[in-house]
Amino acid sequence: MLTKRIVPCLDIKDGRTVKGVNFVDLRDAGDPVTLAKQYAELGADELVFLDITATKEKRRTLHDMVLKVAEQVNIPFTVGGGISSVEDVDDLLHCGADKVSINSAAVKRPELINELSAKFGSQCVVVAIDAKQIEGEWFVHLAGGSIPTNIKLFDWAKEVEQRGAGEILFTSMNHDGTKAGFANKALAKLSELVNIPIIASGGAGTMQHFADTFKEGKADAALAASVFHFGEIAIRDLKEVLKNQDIPVRL
């Protein structure tokens, strides 16, 4: 059985790690390079690095910081934010990223998923989907959650798999930063619809929330930020709790 992955997320704005609630009210959480090194040493399975304002500010991801982070970690490292071409991905992989996460650019030009998968392999392509539940329906949002669309989450998830995505990183905007638990019903439905790994994001507040998203949400990995950044949950302790609930993890 494949082990479940614990993935700290570094949301970067102006060169600092930040964290908010429902995608707003950001507060400083520290230096991303220092945090990345700590997480690699403390047992994280992977890292995700998101330059959260790159798309809105129409600029490329911070390449020098990607280089610095890659020098400090020995675990898989996914980078996202402002990526819109094969050239962007080529640059980031040369800087030390293992995978890339695309979001707004994929929605605007879905062929990008096909191009990246063909050039670099599907294992390199993570499609991030930020979605909000509105009157019972989940709708995709762009540009760090600031632009709503009429695209439905589950339709889009099936399409990105068909186009060659290797993983889906699903963030529930309703749950983000609330520490009330992950969107497990939506996650379980996603895992039924597609055959690629699903990374759960948005809502982690307790160790049991992670256990619940692996059991009820059928997630393959669970991503969190503030509970790790502010020392509320230690990754090794979390993995012991998961192991004691018969959830396979790498210790």
Active site residues: 11, 130
Structure tokens at 119: 């050039």
Residues 6+ apart with CB under 8 A from 3: 45, 248, 249, 250
List, as one string, the DSSP characters of 113-143: HHHHHHHH-GGGEEEEEEEEEETTEEEEEET
What's the rounded Cα separation, in Å, for the pair 180 and 192?
23
What's the rounded Cα separation, in Å, for the pair 207 and 246?
14
- Dihedrals phi, psi of 126, to nearest 5 degrees: -105, 125
